[in-house]
Amino acid sequence: MARTALVTGGSRGIGAAISKALKAEGYNVAATYAGNDEAAAKFTEETGIATYKWNVADYDESKAGIEKVEAEVGPIDIVVANAGITRDAPFHKMTPEQWHQVIDTNLTGVFNTVHPVWPGMRERKFGRIIVISSINGQKGQFAQVNYAATKAGDLGIVKSLAQEGARAGITANAICPGYIATEMVMAVPEKVRDSIVAQIPAGRLGEPEEIARCVAFLASDDSQFINGSTISANGAQFFV
């Protein structure tokens, strides 16, 4: 029987590429989103992938949403915690609200997504947790104290979950994308984009599909011994 994958923020950007790649690999896929109904409906229409709306920052909503997915699509074997936001500001201007919004979505959102599926994975002796972190969690970034804190936190989450899940057949890994050509990055002024590209030895932005292929590998049976690791996909912009 085909395994079931849940991709949070799976209706747009990198998440949409991940959802499509996993569907192409033969998984049953459910994609979640926060509020952009139009983009989600278009995505479902184009791909046939079911979309579900809930806020990953809310534990009860996440738990109820996951129960619905499990009832309608199947027990979740693969979780891709991809949903994320930025609320950038230099630290002296960063508000507590900007701090909390990003922590609640990007970091607590990972807890809220993984915690409800963990018992089922332990029982079935198989699971794949894949968290989409960021190059800026590895190196820090001007005006992203909040975002970098969450993305560095992701790495601590997967290293700890890897140790707890290994004997139950569960792996937990993180992917740290560099700058990827999503709507968000393409929307910045061309001059700024050029200055970003100038810092990437590959001389270009990454494609969402390049991250999706890393996810497809980590989701597969072939990756069983890769556990607690961080895969950097950044065109040689930064090495740990």
Ligand X SMILES: NC(=O)c1ccc[n+]([C@@H]2O[C@H](COP(=O)([O-])OP(=O)(O)OC[C@H]3O[C@@H](n4cnc5c(N)ncnc54)[C@H](OP(=O)(O)O)[C@@H]3O)[C@@H](O)[C@H]2O)c1
Q: Report, as residue numbers or ranges, the catalytic residues.
A: 147
Q: Are 30 and 73 in contact (CB under 8 A)?
A: yes
With binding defined as CB under 6 A, does residue 52 bind ligand X?
no
With binding defined as CB under 6 A, does residue 173 bind ligand X?
no
With binding defined as CB under 6 A, does residue 130 bind ligand X?
no
With binding defined as CB under 6 A, does residue 65 bind ligand X?
no
- Residue 126 or 205 having the CB closest to ligand X: 205
Query: Which one of 65, 127, 177, 235 is in contact with ligand X (CB under 6 A)?
Result: 177
Interface region with ligand X, contact rule CB under 6 A, candidates 79-87, 155-163, 164-172, 220-228: 79-87
Question: Helix, strand or coil for residue 218?
Answer: helix
Query: Which one of 28, 82, 113, 237 is in contact with ligand X (CB under 6 A)?
Result: 82
With binding defined as CB under 6 A, does residue 144 bind ligand X?
no
What separation in angstroms does the CA of 90 have from each of 143, 152, 184? Answer: 4, 18, 19
- Distance between CA atoms of residues 67 and 168, nearest Å: 21
Query: Which one of 9, 65, 127, 235 is in contact with ligand X (CB under 6 A)?
Result: 9
Residues shown for the chain: 240
- Residue 32 or 227 having the CB closest to ligand X: 32
Hey, what amino acid is at 146?
N
- Distance between CA atoms of residues 115 and 21, nearest Å: 24
> What is the token pair recorded at 123?
């029982």
